[in-house]
Amino acid sequence: MKSVNSGDRPLSYPAKMGMNLHFANGAQLFMVVKGKFNMLRPKVVMVNFHQFGTPTVIWKSPWSGVVFHNGTISLGVASTTNNMSYLLRIVSSDFSGSGDITQICSIDSSGLDLGCSGCLDGINPYIHTVVYKNPNPTGSINLLNLDDAPTATTTTGVINMEDSFVDYITFTPEGTGSIPVTIGKITWGVTASATYPNAEISQSVDGPTQHESEDFPEWTTVRDE
Protein backbone atom coordinates (compact mmCIF):
# COMPACT_ATOMS: atom_id res chain seq x y z
CA MET A 1 0.00 0.00 0.00
CA LYS A 2 1.40 3.41 -0.94
CA SER A 3 1.83 6.26 1.49
CA VAL A 4 0.34 9.68 0.84
CA ASN A 5 2.08 13.06 1.02
CA SER A 6 -0.82 15.22 -0.19
CA GLY A 7 -1.95 16.81 3.06
CA ASP A 8 -5.33 15.57 4.23
CA ARG A 9 -6.83 15.14 0.74
CA PRO A 10 -8.05 11.57 0.15
CA LEU A 11 -6.38 9.60 -2.62
CA SER A 12 -7.31 6.12 -3.83
CA TYR A 13 -4.81 3.37 -4.54
CA PRO A 14 -5.36 -0.29 -5.43
CA ALA A 15 -4.38 -2.61 -2.61
CA LYS A 16 -4.53 -6.28 -1.67
CA MET A 17 -4.70 -7.78 1.82
CA GLY A 18 -4.35 -11.39 2.86
CA MET A 19 -5.77 -12.94 6.05
CA ASN A 20 -4.84 -16.33 7.44
CA LEU A 21 -7.55 -17.59 9.83
CA HIS A 22 -6.99 -20.44 12.30
CA PHE A 23 -10.00 -22.17 13.91
CA ALA A 24 -10.22 -24.07 17.21
CA ASN A 25 -10.88 -27.37 15.37
CA GLY A 26 -7.56 -27.05 13.53
CA ALA A 27 -9.03 -25.82 10.25
CA GLN A 28 -7.28 -22.98 8.42
CA LEU A 29 -8.68 -20.50 5.90
CA PHE A 30 -6.72 -18.00 3.81
CA MET A 31 -8.66 -15.04 2.40
CA VAL A 32 -7.57 -12.35 -0.06
CA VAL A 33 -9.33 -9.01 -0.39
CA LYS A 34 -8.62 -6.67 -3.30
CA GLY A 35 -9.95 -3.18 -3.99
CA LYS A 36 -9.29 0.51 -3.59
CA PHE A 37 -8.68 2.23 -0.28
CA ASN A 38 -9.05 5.92 0.48
CA MET A 39 -5.98 7.12 2.39
CA LEU A 40 -5.90 10.35 4.39
CA ARG A 41 -3.08 12.09 6.16
CA PRO A 42 -3.15 15.16 8.43
CA LYS A 43 -0.89 18.02 7.41
CA VAL A 44 1.46 20.34 9.27
CA VAL A 45 1.10 24.10 8.79
CA MET A 46 3.70 26.52 10.17
CA VAL A 47 1.94 29.40 11.91
CA ASN A 48 4.94 31.38 13.19
CA PHE A 49 8.62 30.60 12.56
CA HIS A 50 9.96 33.00 15.22
CA GLN A 51 7.55 33.85 18.03
CA PHE A 52 10.06 35.91 20.04
CA GLY A 53 12.22 37.46 17.35
CA THR A 54 15.18 36.19 15.34
CA PRO A 55 17.06 33.46 17.28
CA THR A 56 20.31 34.97 18.58
CA VAL A 57 23.06 33.64 20.86
CA ILE A 58 23.57 35.88 23.91
CA TRP A 59 25.50 35.85 27.17
CA LYS A 60 23.60 34.11 29.93
CA SER A 61 26.53 34.54 32.33
CA PRO A 62 29.35 36.82 31.07
CA TRP A 63 33.02 36.02 31.68
CA SER A 64 34.00 35.90 35.36
CA GLY A 65 36.77 34.52 37.54
CA VAL A 66 40.54 35.08 37.80
CA VAL A 67 42.12 31.62 37.76
CA PHE A 68 39.19 29.94 36.02
CA HIS A 69 37.38 31.88 33.32
CA ASN A 70 33.72 30.96 33.59
CA GLY A 71 30.99 31.84 31.13
CA THR A 72 27.68 30.64 29.68
CA ILE A 73 26.07 31.45 26.36
CA SER A 74 22.48 30.72 25.37
CA LEU A 75 20.26 30.81 22.30
CA GLY A 76 18.08 33.65 23.56
CA VAL A 77 15.93 33.38 26.66
CA ALA A 78 13.34 30.59 26.79
CA SER A 79 9.78 31.77 26.18
CA THR A 80 10.94 35.39 26.31
CA THR A 81 13.20 36.70 23.55
CA ASN A 82 15.32 35.59 20.58
CA ASN A 83 15.22 31.85 21.36
CA MET A 84 14.09 29.01 19.08
CA SER A 85 10.32 29.21 19.42
CA TYR A 86 8.11 28.19 16.53
CA LEU A 87 4.37 27.57 16.40
CA LEU A 88 2.73 25.04 14.10
CA ARG A 89 -0.72 23.60 13.60
CA ILE A 90 -1.92 20.10 12.72
CA VAL A 91 -4.86 20.11 10.30
CA SER A 92 -6.91 16.90 10.28
CA SER A 93 -10.18 16.92 8.34
CA ASP A 94 -11.16 13.33 9.03
CA PHE A 95 -9.63 12.15 12.31
CA SER A 96 -9.24 13.39 15.85
CA GLY A 97 -6.36 12.22 18.00
CA SER A 98 -3.16 13.65 19.45
CA GLY A 99 -0.13 15.47 18.10
CA ASP A 100 3.41 15.31 19.47
CA ILE A 101 6.94 16.51 18.87
CA THR A 102 9.78 14.05 19.42
CA GLN A 103 13.11 15.89 19.49
CA ILE A 104 16.36 14.19 18.46
CA CYS A 105 19.52 16.18 19.12
CA SER A 106 23.26 16.14 18.49
CA ILE A 107 25.18 18.25 21.01
CA ASP A 108 28.88 19.13 20.72
CA SER A 109 29.75 21.80 23.28
CA SER A 110 32.92 22.65 25.16
CA GLY A 111 33.44 22.84 28.90
CA LEU A 112 31.08 21.03 31.27
CA ASP A 113 28.76 19.48 28.66
CA LEU A 114 29.58 15.88 27.69
CA GLY A 115 27.45 16.14 24.54
CA CYS A 116 25.77 13.38 22.55
CA SER A 117 24.88 12.35 18.99
CA GLY A 118 21.42 11.31 17.81
CA CYS A 119 19.97 11.39 21.33
CA LEU A 120 16.40 11.75 22.52
CA ASP A 121 16.38 15.21 24.08
CA GLY A 122 15.05 14.68 27.58
CA ILE A 123 11.54 13.22 27.42
CA ASN A 124 9.19 11.88 24.78
CA PRO A 125 7.01 13.51 23.70
CA TYR A 126 8.80 16.83 23.97
CA ILE A 127 5.52 18.67 23.27
CA HIS A 128 1.94 17.28 23.18
CA THR A 129 -1.47 18.55 22.07
CA VAL A 130 -4.99 17.23 21.49
CA VAL A 131 -5.91 17.26 17.79
CA TYR A 132 -9.54 17.92 16.92
CA LYS A 133 -11.16 16.82 13.67
CA ASN A 134 -11.43 20.14 11.87
CA PRO A 135 -10.69 21.08 8.23
CA ASN A 136 -9.99 24.71 9.15
CA PRO A 137 -8.84 25.03 12.78
CA THR A 138 -8.23 28.53 14.10
CA GLY A 139 -7.24 30.20 17.35
CA SER A 140 -5.50 27.84 19.78
CA ILE A 141 -6.93 24.63 18.27
CA ASN A 142 -4.42 21.91 17.27
CA LEU A 143 -1.33 24.05 18.01
CA LEU A 144 2.13 22.75 18.89
CA ASN A 145 4.71 25.20 20.28
CA LEU A 146 8.37 24.21 20.31
CA ASP A 147 10.24 26.54 22.67
CA ASP A 148 13.94 25.87 23.26
CA ALA A 149 17.05 27.79 24.35
CA PRO A 150 20.15 25.53 24.33
CA THR A 151 23.18 26.69 26.33
CA ALA A 152 26.93 26.04 26.56
CA THR A 153 29.04 26.54 29.71
CA THR A 154 32.77 26.56 30.31
CA THR A 155 35.39 27.16 33.03
CA THR A 156 38.36 27.27 30.62
CA GLY A 157 37.85 30.61 28.88
CA VAL A 158 36.78 29.00 25.61
CA ILE A 159 33.15 28.24 24.70
CA ASN A 160 32.07 26.25 21.66
CA MET A 161 28.49 25.31 20.82
CA GLU A 162 27.57 23.13 17.85
CA ASP A 163 24.03 21.80 18.34
CA SER A 164 21.59 20.40 15.80
CA PHE A 165 18.00 19.26 16.25
CA VAL A 166 15.41 17.23 14.33
CA ASP A 167 11.86 17.67 15.63
CA TYR A 168 9.56 14.89 14.42
CA ILE A 169 5.89 15.89 14.21
CA THR A 170 3.68 12.85 14.85
CA PHE A 171 -0.05 12.19 14.85
CA THR A 172 -1.84 9.37 16.69
CA PRO A 173 -5.48 8.75 15.64
CA GLU A 174 -8.05 8.03 18.31
CA GLY A 175 -8.84 4.38 18.87
CA THR A 176 -7.42 1.29 20.51
CA GLY A 177 -4.20 0.08 18.93
CA SER A 178 -3.37 3.34 17.16
CA ILE A 179 0.30 4.27 16.95
CA PRO A 180 2.01 7.61 16.26
CA VAL A 181 2.99 8.23 12.63
CA THR A 182 5.30 10.97 11.40
CA ILE A 183 3.57 13.66 9.33
CA GLY A 184 6.52 16.05 9.03
CA LYS A 185 9.70 17.24 10.67
CA ILE A 186 11.44 20.51 11.53
CA THR A 187 15.23 20.91 11.49
CA TRP A 188 17.29 23.64 13.14
CA GLY A 189 20.70 24.22 14.63
CA VAL A 190 23.07 26.68 16.26
CA THR A 191 26.84 27.13 16.09
CA ALA A 192 28.59 29.66 18.33
CA SER A 193 31.95 30.36 20.02
CA ALA A 194 33.62 32.89 22.31
CA THR A 195 37.10 33.23 23.83
CA TYR A 196 38.07 35.04 27.04
CA PRO A 197 38.28 38.00 27.51
CA ASN A 198 36.51 38.84 24.26
CA ALA A 199 32.76 39.47 24.75
CA GLU A 200 31.98 39.02 21.07
CA ILE A 201 30.12 35.81 20.18
CA SER A 202 30.72 34.32 16.73
CA GLN A 203 27.49 32.61 15.74
CA SER A 204 25.29 31.05 13.07
CA VAL A 205 21.68 29.90 13.53
CA ASP A 206 19.90 27.73 10.95
CA GLY A 207 16.18 27.08 10.67
CA PRO A 208 13.59 26.23 11.62
CA THR A 209 13.10 24.48 8.27
CA GLN A 210 9.99 22.42 7.54
CA HIS A 211 10.24 19.09 5.67
CA GLU A 212 7.83 16.45 4.40
CA SER A 213 8.72 13.21 6.17
CA GLU A 214 7.42 9.78 7.10
CA ASP A 215 10.57 8.73 8.98
CA PHE A 216 10.18 7.34 12.46
CA PRO A 217 12.46 8.93 15.09
CA GLU A 218 15.19 6.61 16.33
CA TRP A 219 17.61 6.95 19.25
CA THR A 220 19.80 4.80 21.49
CA THR A 221 20.59 7.36 24.22
CA VAL A 222 18.44 9.74 26.27
CA ARG A 223 20.00 13.11 27.01
CA ASP A 224 19.30 14.34 30.55
CA GLU A 225 19.33 18.09 30.99
Query: Length of the chain in residues, anyone?
Result: 225
Q: In Å, how far are 59, 81, 158 from 50, measured between CA atoms?
A: 20, 10, 29
73 or 22: which leads in pLDDT = 73
Q: Which residues pair with 43 in a beta bridge?
A: 91
Most confident option among 84-88, 109-113, 175-179, 217-221? 84-88
Q: In Å, how far are 18, 30, 195 from 22, measured between CA atoms?
A: 13, 9, 70
Residue % of the chain over a pLDDT of 70? 88
Residue among 132, 138, 145, 128 at smallest CA distance from 48: 145
Poorest-confidence range of 66-70, 112-116, 143-147, 184-188? Answer: 112-116
> What's residue 58's pLDDT?
98
Average pLDDT over residues 23-38: 77
Indicate if the pLDDT at residue 32 is higher than 60.
yes
Return the domain boundaries, the chain: 1-41, 42-223
Q: Which residues pair with 56 in a beta bridge?
A: none
**Residue type, position 97, single letter:** G
**Residue type, position 127, single letter:** I
